A and B are shown apart, each in its own frame.
Chain A
Amino acid sequence: MKLPTVVFQITAIGKNPRALEASARSVGYWLPRTPRLGYRAEVWAVVEPDGYASDPLRYDRLAADGVRIVVVPRSYSTPLGTSGKARALEYAVERRRALGLADASTWIYHQDEETVVGQDTLLGIADFVRAGAHRVGVGIILYPIDWNGSPSHVQELTRTYDDLRVLDSMTLPGNPTAGFHGSHILVRSDVEDAVGWDTVGYSPAEDLTFEIRVRARFGSVFGVLTGFAYEKGAFSLGDQLRQRRRWMHGVLFALRHAPELGPRRRLTLLYSALTWYSAFPSVVVLAASVLLHYGPILVGTSVFTGFIWVTMATGYLEGYRLHAEYVRRPASWLRFAAAALLGAVVDVLAPWYALATRPSRRDFIPKDRPHEAPLVPPVGSRAE
């Protein structure tokens, strides 16, 4: 019987080389220390030429240590002419096909440049592959890497708790609340090969498009991937704001330009966007209610207010509890609450910021710790 292969594929621009190296090395570190996994493993880093050029020594060192560094050629174009991350993902699909890795015994574990794996991740993947009950798996992501309890980090706790909703939604027919990830997902290679990532033009929500296509072609083949993945939050509120702007642009783009989106999914997506957009007016209305005397109306609306507030607070608390064994405790609960409020304000403003401004296609969120010096390339290296 052929032993399954899992390709740990990190797809990124590559301009956060230290974060990417940590992700790749986490796989290389834990694989040999985790016996009886039952699969072969390869590590791929799929990066853009600019990313490679930002720290060639580091990439070369990774290559020497067994990581396949795939630099997407500038001249490469897909049949439909997609760009951004989808283009790199499609290139990787073609490379795998050329190498005979587009079969049912190969699985692709998708990582962002900061997605670090642990032994539990590897065990979860092994369990999923061994069971073979589903063709795509999605799991829960923690954000303990470089954790410092800042507002942008505290805000990520809610994403972890929200992953439970994502898992449920994704495993239900039709994905009723439009949940999906771009990282910490495991896809059987033949499924990814059949569906691909190619779309017409720019596709900022490539993960959403991919999920829709898989569902359309293979039905409800999604399962829960056990084990956490370990990522890091944005380093600053500004980065958090830009990250959320990118997400919202992805959603808006999908709403307008994704032909794969059926009317029902479009409506779901529209509603989830509307929910996010309603946060800021809600805060404004709450503040204005003191001046404009909404009293009698609030008697009716307050029935749901308590539930929403408690649910939001639960997101922070349970998100933190999920992280408790993986991060240092913040200085105090007061500081934690203040950080949560500040992080929430940024999330409240983010969709409106996305309406007012546009990210560039080469926009990326810094994930390398700013205080660590880059490797100095030797005199005469290619990067100079």
Chain B
Amino acid sequence: MFLAELDRLTVELGANPVPGDIRPRVAPPGPLPDEAPPDAMPLSPYLEERLRLAHRAMATLGRELSTLERRWGVVRAAAEHLDRELERAEDEAGFLGRLAAVPLAAEPLAEGPVRAGGEEEAPEARAAVEGDRVVPDDGSLPYLRFSADRYNRTIGALKSRRRRLVGWTVGLAVAISGALGTAAFLAHEPPPDPWLAILPLVWLVPVPFFVVSFLATHRVLRRNHLDVPAVA
């Protein structure tokens, strides 16, 4: 439609004819006004309509191009999404392949979950994995050993430095308190007003909590083994 309109316009205006264009110039309907200057473009009653149609065609084309661009974006996003999901599906398939003996999704439930909206229910599967019956053959046992060791090592390290932690805490606390007290003492400041004197007491509010927490932390480390069972 757009190209047809352009052709019509070209013919109508007779301007910039395409090389090789042999079509005769179409005479405008009706006589030209006598007073028209000799170099003036001849007017046509169809010109305005043609231009309007051309504008409309341009607008349509622009809209269609925008729509196409948007749709292309959606298509591209969907393709990327598909790509990701295929990768995940491949992983999942590999995972399931390794666990062929595992009784996953055993039996359907008698009643499913209540969906969004409240009352409607839909069927679902139920996971029932019996740890006893799962014997992975993909080399995951060494990783299990690593997981257990890492946890036990982390907890064990904390337990092993418990005494040192007590020593450092007490030593540093005494040093800091001593430094602060000495600095305050050496400042030789006059006693503050009584109402101001009670303000620093707010520092003492959390002291029992911190003391109890300190004792509790070290007690739980001392009394409990905290290890997970070693993996054979």
Contacts and interface: CB of A to CB of B under 8 A. Distances in A.
A311 interface: yes
Contacts of A274: 205
A162 B208 CA distance: 15
A295 interface: yes
Interface string B90-106: 00000100010010110
B173 to A, nearest CB: 4
A356 interface: no
A272 B209 CA distance: 7
Interface string A284-296: 0110110011111
A41 B128 contact: yes
A169 B214 CA distance: 11
A34 B134 CA distance: 8
B131 A39 contact: yes
A311 B184 contact: no
Instruction: Give the most central of A37, A38, A126, A303: most B CB within 10 Å.
Output: A303
A35 B131 contact: yes
Q: How large, as a class, is the contact surface on chain B?
A: 35 or more
Interface in A57-96: 63-76
Contacts of A300: 200
Interface string A113-127: 000001110111011
B23 interface: no
A370 B181 CA distance: 49
A116 to B, nearest CB: 13
A35 B141 contact: yes
Contacts of A33: 134, 136, 140, 143-144
Interface residues of A, number: 99
A4 to B, nearest CB: 10
Contacts of B172: 306, 310
A93 B81 CA distance: 38
B45 interface: no
A177 interface: yes
Contacts of A299: 181, 184-185
Interface in A306-324: 306-311, 314, 318, 321-322, 324
A31 B181 contact: no
Contacts of A226: 151, 155, 225-228
B131 A376 contact: no
A279 B206 contact: yes
Interface stretch (A48-56, A191-199, A237-245): A48-56
Contacts of B191: 296
Contacts of B211: 307
Nearest to B201: A301
A153 B211 CA distance: 26
Contacts of A325: 150, 153-154
Nearest to B216: A168
B207 to A, nearest CB: 5
A63 B201 CA distance: 57
A366 interface: no
A310 B114 contact: no
B207 A308 contact: yes
A149 B130 CA distance: 38
A357 interface: no
B66 interface: no
B199 A64 contact: no
A293 B189 contact: yes
Nearest to B150: A325
Contacts of B129: 28, 31-32, 40-41
Contacts of B229: 123, 126-127
B52 to A, nearest CB: 37
B209 A306 contact: no
Given A41-B127, A52-B116, A120-B228, A298 B181 contact: yes
B150 A71 contact: no
Contact of B180 (A165, A271, A306, A310): A306
Interface stretch (B3-11, B36-44, B57-65, B118-126): B118-126
Interface centre among B115, B127, B201, B205 (most CB of A within 10 A): B127
A69 B210 contact: no
Contacts of B200: 285, 289, 294, 297-298, 300-301
A300 B169 CA distance: 19
Contact of A36 (B132, B143, B147, B205): B132
Nearest to A223: B224
Nearest to A72: B114
A338 B17 CA distance: 75
B162 to A, nearest CB: 10
Given A33-B144, A292-B192, A294-B200, 8 more contacts: A29-B95, A32-B134, A34-B131, A42-B127, A49-B118, A306-B180, A307-B211, A310-B168
8 contacts: A3-B130, A28-B127, A285-B203, A289-B200, A299-B185, A306-B178, A325-B150, A376-B81
Interface of B: 77-78, 81, 95, 99, 102, 104-105, 109, 111, 113-119, 124-132, 134-136, 140-141, 143-144, 147-148, 150-151, 153-155, 157-158, 165, 168-169, 172-178, 180-181, 184-185, 187-192, 196-197, 199-214, 216-217, 219-221, 224-229, 231
Q: List the 3 closest A-B pairs by CB distance, nearest first.
A: A37-B131, A66-B127, A306-B176
